[in-house]
């Protein structure tokens, strides 16, 4: 019970720290319909589930044996975040008036973008590996690991549902529409920093 509570508290603290997932979901919730925000949330939550599952299965052992794989994952993930930074900055500098057809095409990609946003942030994998290696010992049975995975996934889902609800309030949406270029630009800078760090770490840092 203490183990599960520790995992839950640690995950809550991690979720409360702004990162690519937070900026992505808050931006979608403030600028798009509720349906799009839900797709983004489900995508991010699936990404968290994947990273947590891989960490519980011992992916850290594989990465220690194959450091080039770790570097490759970080470089590719950082590159995708840099791509998202480019899209956000382009939107901030030159807002695009979307047609109904374009809006539909974009809507269908929110789940995938949410998933890729999370999976591209390989700091999430490092976080899970670090937490599990410190808290989850080899004596933990399969059922407990399943409960840990469930807690992390559910906690992530509930947290981002709350964030989306907060940023979808009418007053927040109104403010976003008013300052959209500045907000998108700020989010783009944040993605640029996150992505740049991962690419640098993947190419030059010793693992």
In a domain? residue 20: no
In a domain? residue 87: yes
- Max mean pLDDT range (77-91, 95-109, 158-172): 158-172
* Global confidence as pTM: 0.77
In a domain? residue 23: no
- Give the residue among 82, 61, 48, 49 at the shortest CA–CA distance from 203: 82
Q: 176 pLDDT band (50/70/90 cuts)? A: confident
- Give the residue among 190, 174, 198 at the shortest CA–CA distance from 89: 190
Name the token pair of 57.
């299965």
Task: Look at residue 49 and tell me whether its pLDDT is greater than 90.
Answer: yes
In a domain? residue 124: yes
In a domain? residue 17: no
In a domain? residue 180: yes
Q: 138 pLDDT band (50/70/90 cuts)? A: low
Contact residues for 75 (Cβ-Cβ < 8 A; gap 6+): 198, 199, 202, 203
Q: 137 pLDDT band (50/70/90 cuts)? A: low
Contact residues for 38 (Cβ-Cβ < 8 A; gap 6+): 164
CA distance 139 to 115: 32
In a domain? residue 19: no
Q: 168 pLDDT band (50/70/90 cuts)? A: very high
Q: 102 pLDDT band (50/70/90 cuts)? A: very low
**Residue range(s) defining the domain that contains residue 190:** 2-8+29-204
In a domain? residue 15: no
Task: Look at residue 201 and tell me whether its pLDDT is greater than 70.
Answer: yes
Q: What average pLDDT does the segment 56-80 reach?
A: 80
CA distance 191 to 117: 10
Sign of CA dihedral 46, 52, 58, 59: positive
- Cα–Cα separations (whole angstroms), residue 205 to 77, 118, 120, 172, 197: 15, 22, 18, 40, 10
Q: 155 pLDDT band (50/70/90 cuts)? A: very high
Q: What average pLDDT does the segment 73-82 reach?
A: 83
- Max mean pLDDT range (11-25, 85-99, 162-176): 162-176
- Tally the domains of the chain: 1
- Cα–Cα separations (whole angstroms), residue 180 to 46, 92, 162: 28, 7, 21
- Give the residue among 202, 152, 122 at the shortest CA–CA distance from 13: 152
CA distance 122 to 83: 15
- Max mean pLDDT range (31-40, 54-63, 191-200): 31-40
């Amino acid at each position: 019970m203490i183990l599960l509570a520790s995992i839950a508290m640690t995950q809550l603290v991690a979720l409360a720290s702004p990162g690519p997932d937070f900026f992505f979901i808050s931006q979608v919730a403030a600028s798009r319909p509720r349906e799009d925000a839900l797709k983004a949330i489900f995508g991010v939550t699936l990404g968290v589930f994947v990273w947590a599952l891989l960490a519980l299965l011992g992916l850290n052992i594989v990465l220690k044996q194959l450091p080039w794989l770790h570097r490759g994952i970080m470089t590719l993930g950082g590159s995708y975040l840099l791509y998202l930074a480019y899209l956000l900055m382009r939107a901030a500098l030159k807002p695009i008036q979307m047609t109904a057809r374009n809006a539909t095409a974009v809507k269908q990609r929110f789940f995938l973008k949410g998933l890729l946003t999370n999976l591209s942030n390989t700091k999430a994998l490092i976080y899970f590996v670090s937490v599990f290696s410190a808290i989850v010992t080899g004596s933990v049975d399969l059922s407990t690991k399943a409960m840990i995975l469930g807690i992390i996934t559910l906690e992530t889902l509930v947290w981002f549902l709350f964030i989306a609800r907060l940023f979808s309030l009418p007053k927040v949406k109104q403010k976003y529409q008013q300052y959209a270029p500045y907000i998108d630009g700020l989010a783009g800078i944040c993605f640029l920093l996150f992505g740049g760090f991962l690419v640098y770490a993947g190419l030059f840092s010793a693992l």
